[in-house]
Chains A and B, each alone.
Chain A
């Protein structure tokens, strides 16, 4: 298992290198980061422009710029931002934690929901519950993440207006400059998480519950379930211990594969709720042609995706004794 893990990490490094290079080229070609400077009226002195060009390494050839960026990473230098006051490395750490808590919680909620709904609709196939779950699954599958998020946000605002107090937070990831004890701060953060988590979880759960239902149906029709029933085990034991236990195995792979699309969903959700997380960081970086900020975002995200896939593969081996990594 250790050898497998190390080998997988070793394979990931070239993938990271190539994808980072591709994105670097794309980001560098996207637009001129000096545009806002050049558009300024009155025009800035040529020296200022030359300094900015120098600072953003715009005169160096592309390959050299990529190499500088790559070697800089190992010294903790993520490269210069278009905003001279901004240190990319410092900022992305905070942003990462903000987004991580949204994604992690939404995924847990979505997984629990998907497993419960998937199992219930498989066990009660063609019942009213199953049809209802199927319909809502398809509905959320067909709903744009931002539309649902805006809807929930509006519902929160209306609720607050009706109550006459700000009970549900609809803007930001936490109250800015919050003063209070650790517990109060935690409660503040949790309050801000409610709506974004619900909207991201609902969008993600839909596909998973469909998947879990199909997987559960397949397992429940298998011969070993019939043998388990022939042993005289109670229905509950058969469903959970023999059915669910096996039906969960493929879900680990699906969850890992879907992480990239959840990150996409989080970008949109953060925009709606105006969170200062990774999504906001990325969108700003792209809008301002901030190449090195985009690269930092990509590096962090791709690393997380690769690590998560590795964990899923290891978990798969734990769940299924037939899989052995040597």
Chain B
């Protein structure tokens, strides 16, 4: 059996399964995840809805702790047993929440695969990379070890690893971080999945390697025709990659829309904050506008919008009631803000003042220096 046969065993060569672009492959609705802790239930995810169409790239953006990774782990059924998950995750109409482990194992890696953040720890140190890729192939296809290894070599070539044949016998510790992440990508595309979830795939890597990894990801997506969920806290990674963008804050989506909607006509102050924190080389120099404060704790959350303490536009209503996701410009662009209508045509600089976090410190510093002088 040759590598081509293995490929053919999965799906017809080259062309992905005829998925019409409008068909959702993955539908998430009302997803909530809680972790019991000493101080009460940690509500990591408090209701996430999105649908992913075939071949589409959905970017999920948010700070650490906003629940974006937990959402994806819930989709894969990889959360720890103590996690309380509710809501619905449907893959091609099949409900994944509550599915048995054995059934889930047929979905994982074959229909939906996942790429994790830290390539340094994602690979098993005691097995060669060839073995680990071939294992993914053999988990879903009854092929010989040799055929699976051939397929592994092809995959390594696809993710642009030089001398793939020789690299098969390399152990993870013999490869650089970027190389290891490419191996993880190769594992993710091994069975031509319909959905690839990439959880901060470039965060742990050097800036110089990040672009290469994004290229490998694009290659993987082009090869498999899979839809992709790209999770990141870096809007720069998403720009130019994502068709649609979902912004998360404190376990909930606060804005969702096409990339154009979110980047150019944002309707939620937090999105403005994220955009304002992004250094841009394509425009004349502008001051960065950081978001003051830090994300809220998701234990014992008070009512009202969780962004209120950091929001420059907060009004008393924001402390009382948490806004729902509501359509703005069109049915596909939703935002959760009581004042979203007032944000039409605003830019980040209009909402957040430059260096807002520094003014107090600066004043303090000046005072101290004067005292010393």
Contacts and interface: CB of A to CB of B under 8 A. Distances in A.
Asked if A and B touch directly (CB within 8 angstroms), the answer is yes
Interface of A: 222-224, 226-235, 242, 245-246, 249, 319-322
B124 interface: yes
A321 B139 contact: no
A224 B124 contact: yes
A230 B113 contact: yes
Contacts of A223: 116, 118, 121-122
A232 B105 contact: yes
B78 A246 contact: no
Interface in B153-191: 171, 173, 184, 187, 190
Nearest to A221: B80
A234 B125 contact: no
Contacts of A226: 78, 116, 122
A235 B108 CA distance: 12
Contact of B101 (A231, A235, A245): A235
B123 interface: yes
* Majority SS at the chain A contact face: helix
B44 interface: no
Interface in B183-213: 184, 187, 190
B33 interface: no
B183 to A, nearest CB: 10
Contacts of A229: 78, 108
A231 B126 contact: no
A224 B102 CA distance: 20
Most chain B CB inside 10 Å of its own CB: which residue of A228, A231, A242, A249: A231
Contacts of A321: 125-126, 171, 173
B122 A232 contact: no
Contact-residue size bin, chain B (C-beta under 8 Å from the other chain): 20 to 34
9 contacts: A222-B121, A224-B122, A227-B187, A230-B76, A230-B113, A230-B114, A232-B136, A233-B109, A242-B124
A234 B108 CA distance: 10
B126 A232 contact: no
Interface of B: 76, 78, 101-102, 104-110, 113-114, 116, 118, 121-126, 135-136, 139-140, 171, 173, 184, 187, 190
Given A226-B78, A322-B173, A231 B124 contact: no
B120 to A, nearest CB: 9
A231 B104 CA distance: 11
Contact of A232 (B124, B140, B184): B140
Given A232-B108, A322-B171, A227 B135 contact: no
Most chain B CB inside 10 Å of its own CB: which residue of A224, A235, A320: A224
Contacts of A242: 124
Contacts of A319: 126
Given A223-B118, A231-B139, A322-B125, 10 more contacts: A223-B121, A224-B124, A230-B114, A231-B190, A232-B108, A232-B140, A233-B109, A233-B139, A234-B102, A235-B101
Contacts of A235: 101, 105
Nearest to A222: B121
Contacts of B187: 227, 231
Nearest to B171: A321
B192 to A, nearest CB: 13
A93 to B, nearest CB: 40
B124 A228 contact: yes
Nearest to A248: B126
Contacts of A224: 121-125
Contacts of B139: 231-233
Most chain A CB inside 10 Å of its own CB: which residue of B102, B108, B123, B124: B124
A230 to B, nearest CB: 4
Contacts of B135: 231, 233
A321 B123 CA distance: 13
Nearest to A249: B126
Contacts of B171: 321-322
